[in-house]
Amino acid sequence: MSKILLHTCCAPCSSAIVEWMLANGMRPVIFYSNSNIYPVEEYEHRRSECARYAAENGIMMVEDQYDHTSWLNCTTGLEGEPERGARCLQCFRYRLKRAAQYAQDNGFDLLTTTLASSRWKSLDQINMAGREACEGTSVEWWDKNWRKGGLQQRRDQIIRERNFYNQQYCGCEFSIRKEL
């Protein structure tokens, strides 16, 4: 059985993927690596919802270091980009690189991300960033399309059933300006 690291952005996006993995005999470890989120109170709120869902399912969650300054440095010059633009690709690269490093250091075989469950994000960008992150490591990027097979509908059901906090913007300060 492969050892799976599931990079997680939030509980709503994790919901159906975790359920599907458990139903198919897989026990992922959740890796919460989201230095993009602003402000820190929002980061903590999303983190506690993820931790609650992990605990309810009896799976382990690892929290990465939160370093929003470093994330901002990585996306400098791209502040005005639209969603699905160049800033988002950098954002995926930043987080998935850290996830791939953790996976490599801790003997995981496969890496995937809940980012891929959101229809607001570009699957091509996510897969490009994931493949790049795993390049030169012993970790394989798992590019399964997590929007198919009824998982999108199941995601919406679980959000209602579990009464998750369902955030109103993607995560960074630039997405707040665009959406509110």
Give the footprint of ligand SF4 on this chain (CB under 6 A).
36, 83, 87-88, 91, 170-172, 174-175
Nearest approach, Cβ of 61 to ligand SF4 (angstroms)?
20
Nearest approach, Cβ of 73 to ligand SF4 (angstroms)?
13
The DSSP output letter for 107 is T
Nearer to ligand SF4, 85 or 150 (CB): 85
Nearest approach, Cβ of 149 to ligand SF4 (angstroms)?
24
Nearest approach, Cβ of 144 to ligand SF4 (angstroms)?
20
Whether the CB-CB separation of 60 and 54 falls below 8 Å is answered with yes
Whether the CB-CB separation of 35 and 74 falls below 8 Å is answered with no
Nearer to ligand SF4, 15 or 175 (CB): 175
Nearer to ligand SF4, 59 or 112 (CB): 112
Nearer to ligand SF4, 21 or 37 (CB): 37
- Assign residue 136 a region: left if phi > 0, alpha if psi is -120 to 50, beta otherwise? left
Nearest approach, Cβ of 104 to ligand SF4 (angstroms)?
23
The DSSP output letter for 32 is E
E strand intervals along the chain: 4-8, 29-32, 61-63, 110-113, 140-141
Nearer to ligand SF4, 15 or 34 (CB): 34
Nearest approach, Cβ of 138 to ligand SF4 (angstroms)?
27
Question: What is the DSSP code string of 131-179?
Answer: HHHHTTSSPEE----TTTTTHHHHHHHHHHHHT----SS-SSHHHHHHH
Which residues 6+ apart lie within 8 Å of 97 measured at CB?
129, 132, 133
Report how far residue 142's alpha carbon sits from residue 144's, in angstroms, rounded to the nearest whole number: 6
Nearer to ligand SF4, 79 or 105 (CB): 79
